[in-house]
Amino acid sequence: MKMASSEFLTTVMAIFWLIGSSFFLMGTSIRLADDHDHRNEEDLVSAACNRTFYVDICVSSIRSDPRSSTISDIRGLAEVALNISVVHGTETLDYIKHLNSNSPAASYRSGCLRDCAKVYANLSVHLLRIRDFEKMNALVSTAMTDS
């Protein structure tokens, strides 16, 4: 039980990080363009990820996507990060549902997992719709601090 909970929390934290990073990247595109001369994908990824809390995770996540080798601007980079976030978000929601399917329907754990799935799904949709990058960063930072 503790192992599954630990894996779940790690997955959720990674999703919040990816979502926050993608919006952070989009929100800081003008500042980055002014600060750096981005002549290739490596410089762009490094420059953007150096502005995040988890540089190594940012770099490895972005570079793991084949599209990252064709990125020419910060918006393209943010798109890749957002797409990675959506994929991981879907996987996280599926994992929550899987955990819930293995719990007795009336159990405390099942109730918590149902609540988690509902909040997670609603939050994900809300965060993708607001497009207010500063607010997004604040919400993701709060979520990371609270967990």
**What is the rounded distance in angstroms from the CA atom of residue 34 to the CA atom of residue 30?**
6
pLDDT at 130: 64
Which of residues 93 and 66 earns the better pLDDT score? 66
Residue boundaries of the structural domains of the chain: 2-146
Q: Give the C-alpha separation, 115 to 110, whole Å.
A: 9
More confident residue, 15 or 1: 15
Q: What is the per-residue pLDDT across 79-130, written as a single tens digit (0 to 9) for each?
A: 888 788 778 778 888 888 888 888 887 788 888 888 888 877 776 666 666 6
Q: How far is CA 146 from CA 7, 67, 141, in A?
A: 17, 33, 9
Q: Take residue 54 and report the two structure tokens written for it.
A: 């988890």
CA distance 106 to 12: 24
Regarding pTM above 0.75, the answer is: no
- Decide if pLDDT at 146 tops 80: no
- pLDDT tens column, 23-34: 555 555 444 544
| All residues at 6 or more sequence positions from 7 whose CB lies less than 8 Å from its CB, including other chains | none
Environment class of 57 (CB within 10 Å of its CB; exposed 0-12, middle 13-18, buried 19+)? middle
